[in-house]
Amino acid sequence: MTLKKLTGLAGLVALILTPGAFAVDTAVRLIVDADKPGHAVSPTLHGIFFEDINYGADGGLYAELVQNRSFEHKESLYSWATVSLDGDGSISVETADPLNASNPHYLRLTVRTPGKGFGVANYGFGGIAVKQGENYLFAVRARADAAFKGKLVAVLEDETGRPLGECKIEGLSGQWQKFEGTLKSSGTALHARLVVLATAAGRVDLDVASLFPENSWKQRRNGLRADLVQMLVDLKPAFMRFPGGCIVEGNDLPNRYEWKDTIGDIAERKQNWNRWQDAMRGQTAPQYYQTYGLGFFEFFQLCEDIGAAPLPILNCGMACQYQSKQLVPLDQLDPFVQDALDLIEFANGPATSPWGAKRVAMGHPAPFNMKLLGVGNEQWGEQYFERYKIFQAALKAKHPEIQLVTTAGPGVDDASWKLAWDKFRSGTPADIVDEHYYRPPQWFLENATRYDAQDRAGPKIFAGEFAAHDTSLRKPSLRAAISEAAFMTGLVRNSDVVAMSSYAPLFAKADAWQWAPDLIWCDNTRAYGTGSYHVQALFSRNRPDVVLPLVVDAPPVPLSPAINASTSGAKALPAYRPASLPALYAVAGRDNRANEIVIFIANPYAEAKAATIELRGVTQLASAAKAIVLTSASPDDENSFEAPMKIAPREETVAISGTSLARTFPAYSLTVLRLKPVN
Ligand code: AHR
């Protein structure tokens, strides 16, 4: 049966089957032993990797609408402009007697004649998007000199200057105070601006001028974008790694991520520049900063909200080895190790402990139940292992309950990776080893079996960052997504040793990105998942509890010419290469709660493939099964804001009689079959 005929049946009923001998002439047989459960599937197998790259945090997931709210950008008035309604005055950025030492700059309005108002406007992150009828929460720290006898007015204006809503702030004194107000928007605008006006002559100082949609995720103040969090919920991630990525390392040591700067009152969080400002040639973003409004407390809270185990990664005394290569001397590592110990206390400690008390003060009396901690991002070489050993000893001595994530470097099958594994095999202790692969689609097809022979007595594997990079343009194509799906059948099959996996990076903002491909694209109002997003969601949402033996009985596919295996810059070693590729990539398991057999079948080839699926060890299958199919018309297809669901899963009911079925798997497709045994 051809694909055309299959879809001609209105996409509803696939192929009918008969038990035992089957009449369709198919080249491929997938044979599943349903009564021979193998190892348990790691419950943390599929997770997400968050990094503030591509404006993933400020301007992305973090719902703050004001950019440069604390005037801490190097270009300290970036995104701000003077507004004068027939008034006269000046604006300046000052540092004398600031709000606090972590927030040294503030804005001064010197108003000579106020007219109908003199002040400033903020243009957000490429405009402030507002919706008619919705509330926006304004907050500002302000003080004024004794001459100022007026008030502040905060106004939302659309692109034409039409006011959409306002609130008034009164009671300014010579001391810094926090003021709040609500603006209800009477209109919808994509490029609104927030105007803050003084209504009298005198001197007014402003800092941390902030505007959040009331309808943030769970309507939290200092909240996250609800639509983007929902996209994470839909991925059903078992864990979330944060805050990166290279951002953990920093370009240099002063630029590294320090979690203690990211908790407490947002006005006291010490901002930092974002190393992705200039890390990628041709994709510079000089105004990319980290307010840390989305900080470690919010990361833990997000993990809890989306049901993901938290996996924080900490700097291990090394800055980026591609950039400054700075190192903390071994005899000065103590504060770094202490940061790690304090983090465990912040996440899990009682209210009576110093760091546990800070968590409680932020509104979370219960522990966050952190069980995983990463030491360094993708570091490599002896310098890493010298530092890792110090962390490992201190952390295990105090917290043997915490599983440590150790890195094998930025790539696999190269000299750095080999050094790491030589160490693990010769006594360097490791619980979970983080491996990264940003490779062409073909690499993913060739490496679906790479863990079949992995030493089961060694450390567990964390496929911690991966994405298929399709051509030099790194297109988020269907071809890339299906190659990842093929690879992931191998992760599930080996999930006794592959404990965790995550695609990277997670978010990218249109017109503000540095790295592609990414899982979720957004602008100020919209978001969509790439084909890879749907692959991740399908694996995660259908993760079985145990693996069932599955044999692909068909002539294998010959290998195409070898691809260059090293992308890390380290000396490439002979790459892992199988003798051939399978006719279809498939893995089966059992979902115990649903009492269903789940089979993932990826066809990464250019031709549709007909196959029979034979279930052994069951006497009967329920007459209706479910098939979820992810494909599209062309391997080059991509999702976009205009066509966000071009590549999206489509569900079919499959009529079954007996214990086998025949089905055609479209070119470049992932199919998830859910079959119910009836005993
Ligand atoms: O995911 C993008 C970057 O890739 C990460 O920051 C880093 O860990 C890796 O090199």
pLDDT in tens, 390-441: 999 999 999 999 999 999 999 999 999 999 999 999 999 999 999 999 999 9
Q: Which atom of ligand 1 is nearest to the CA of 436?
A: 9
By alpha-carbon position, which residue is closest to atom 6 of ligand 1? 245
**C-alpha closest to that of 24 among 45, 4, 2, 41:** 2
- Lookup: tokens for 398: 């105090």
Q: Is it the case that residue 1 has pLDDT exceeding 80? A: no
Calpha distance 395→397 (Å, rounded)? 5
Residue 410 beta carbon below 6 angstroms from any ligand 1 atom: yes
Instruction: Give the distance (Å) from ligand 1 centre to CA of residue 463.
Output: 13
**C-alpha closest to that of 501 among 460, 473, 470:** 460
Instruction: Give the distance (Å) from ligand 1 centre to CA of residue 323.
Output: 13
Which residues are paired to 406 by β-bridges?
A: 433
pLDDT score recorded for residue 565: 54
**Average pLDDT value for residue range 317-339:** 98
Residue 361: which pLDDT band, with cuts at 50, 70 and 90?
very high
CB 639 within 8 A of CB 630: no
Write the secondary structure of 186-209 as one string of H (helix), E (strand) and C (coil): CCCEEEEEEEEEECCCEEEEEEEE
**Average pLDDT value for residue range 475-488:** 98
pLDDT score recorded for residue 26: 54
Residue 279 beta carbon below 6 angstroms from any ligand 1 atom: no
Calpha distance 305→230 (Å, rounded)? 10
Residue 206 beta carbon below 6 angstroms from any ligand 1 atom: no
CB 36 within 8 A of CB 548: yes
pLDDT digits (tens, 9 = 90+) for 19-69: 333 333 358 999 999 999 999 999 999 999 999 999 999 999 999 999 999
Calpha distance 603→128 (Å, rounded)? 43
Residue 472: which pLDDT band, with cuts at 50, 70 and 90?
confident
Q: Which atom of ligand 1 is nearest to the CA of 246?
A: 6
Calpha distance 273→73 (Å, rounded)? 8
Instruction: Give the distance (Å) from ligand 1 centre to CA of residue 245.
Output: 5
Q: Is it the case that residue 562 has pLDDT exceeding 80? A: no
Residue 246 beta carbon below 6 angstroms from any ligand 1 atom: yes
Beta strands in 400-451 (DSSP E): 403-407, 432-439
Q: Is the peptide bond before 517 cis (omega within 30 degrees of 0)?
A: yes
Residue 505 beta carbon below 6 angstroms from any ligand 1 atom: yes
CB 106 within 8 A of CB 62: no
Among 158-162, 556-560, 564-568, 603-607, the range scoring the smallest mean pLDDT is 564-568
Residue 502 beta carbon below 6 angstroms from any ligand 1 atom: no
Percent of the chain with pLDDT over 70: 95
Pocket perturbation via mutation, ligand 1, pick of 242, 288, 507, 515 by most ligand atoms within 8 A of CB? 515
Active-site residue, selected from the candidate residues 378, 446, 484, 614: 378
By alpha-carbon position, which residue is closest to atom 9 of ligand 1? 245
**Average pLDDT value for residue range 551-574:** 78
- Position 152, amino acid: L
CB 115 within 8 A of CB 88: yes
Among 335-339, 417-421, 573-577, 674-678, the range scoring the smallest mean pLDDT is 573-577
Q: Is the peptide bond before 245 cis (omega within 30 degrees of 0)?
A: yes
Write the secondary structure of 539-589 as one string of H (helix), E (strand) and C (coil): HHHCCCCEEECEEEECCCECCCCCCCCCCCCCCECCCCCCCCECCCEEEEE
CB 374 within 8 A of CB 299: no
Q: Higher model confidence: residue 280 or residue 655?
A: 655
- 3-state class (DSSP) for residue 14: coil
Compute CA distances 328 → 272, 388, 395, whole Å. Answer: 19, 12, 18
Does residue 378 carry a catalytic annotation? yes
Q: Is it the case that residue 96 has pLDDT exceeding 60? A: yes
Residue 568: which pLDDT band, with cuts at 50, 70 and 90?
low
**Average pLDDT value for residue range 510-525:** 97
Q: Spell out the domain ranges in the chain.
A: 4-43+549-675, 46-63+217-543, 80-213
Domain 46-63+217-543 and domain 80-213 have a common topology: no
CATH of 4-43+549-675, one of 3.40.50.150, 2.60.40.1180, 2.60.120.10, 3.40.640.10: 2.60.40.1180
Instruction: Give the distance (Å) from ligand 1 centre to CA of residue 672.
Output: 30
CB 82 within 8 A of CB 123: no
**C-alpha closest to that of 515 among 481, 563, 569, 469:** 469
pLDDT score recorded for residue 261: 98
Q: Return all residues near 28 (Cβ < 8 A) that are at least 6 apart.
A: 552, 553, 554, 583, 584, 609, 610, 611, 612
- Lookup: tokens for 507: 């978010």
Among 77-86, 373-382, 572-581, the range scoring the smallest mean pLDDT is 572-581
Q: Is it the case that residue 254 has pLDDT exceeding 70? A: yes
Residue 471: which pLDDT band, with cuts at 50, 70 and 90?
confident
Calpha distance 182→196 (Å, rounded)? 13
Residue 378 beta carbon below 6 angstroms from any ligand 1 atom: yes
Compute CA distances 364 → 217, 228, 248, 263, 274, whole Å. Answer: 17, 23, 25, 13, 28
**C-alpha closest to that of 482 among 615, 608, 654, 308:** 608
By alpha-carbon position, which residue is closest to atom 8 of ligand 1? 245
Q: Give me the architecture of the 80-213 domain, per CATH.
A: Sandwich (2.60)
By alpha-carbon position, which residue is closest to atom 4 of ligand 1? 245
Instruction: Give the distance (Å) from ligand 1 centre to CA of residue 652.
Output: 37
Q: Is it the case that residue 244 has pLDDT exceeding 60? A: yes
Residue 504 beta carbon below 6 angstroms from any ligand 1 atom: yes
**Average pLDDT value for residue range 246-273:** 98
Q: Is it the case that residue 17 has pLDDT exceeding 70? A: no
Q: Is it the case that residue 168 has pLDDT exceeding 50? A: yes
Instruction: Give the distance (Å) from ligand 1 centre to CA of residue 246.
Output: 5
Instruction: Give the distance (Å) from ligand 1 centre to CA of residue 532.
Output: 17
**Average pLDDT value for residue range 517-527:** 98
pLDDT score recorded for residue 559: 86
Q: Give me the architecture of the 46-63+217-543 domain, per CATH.
A: Alpha-Beta Barrel (3.20)
Q: Which atom of ligand 1 is nearest to the CA of 438?
A: 4
pLDDT score recorded for residue 557: 93
DSSP H or E segment with residue 65: none
Residue 201: which pLDDT band, with cuts at 50, 70 and 90?
very high
Q: Which atom of ligand 1 is nearest to the CA of 465?
A: 1
Q: Is it the case that residue 156 has pLDDT exceeding 70? A: yes
Q: Is it the case that residue 10 has pLDDT exceeding 60? A: no
Q: Higher model confidence: residue 516 or residue 281?
A: 516
CB 486 within 8 A of CB 444: yes
Residue 465 beta carbon below 6 angstroms from any ligand 1 atom: yes
Angle at which helix 226-235 crosses helix 296-306, to 10 degrees, equals 50
Model pTM score: 0.94
pLDDT score recorded for residue 249: 98
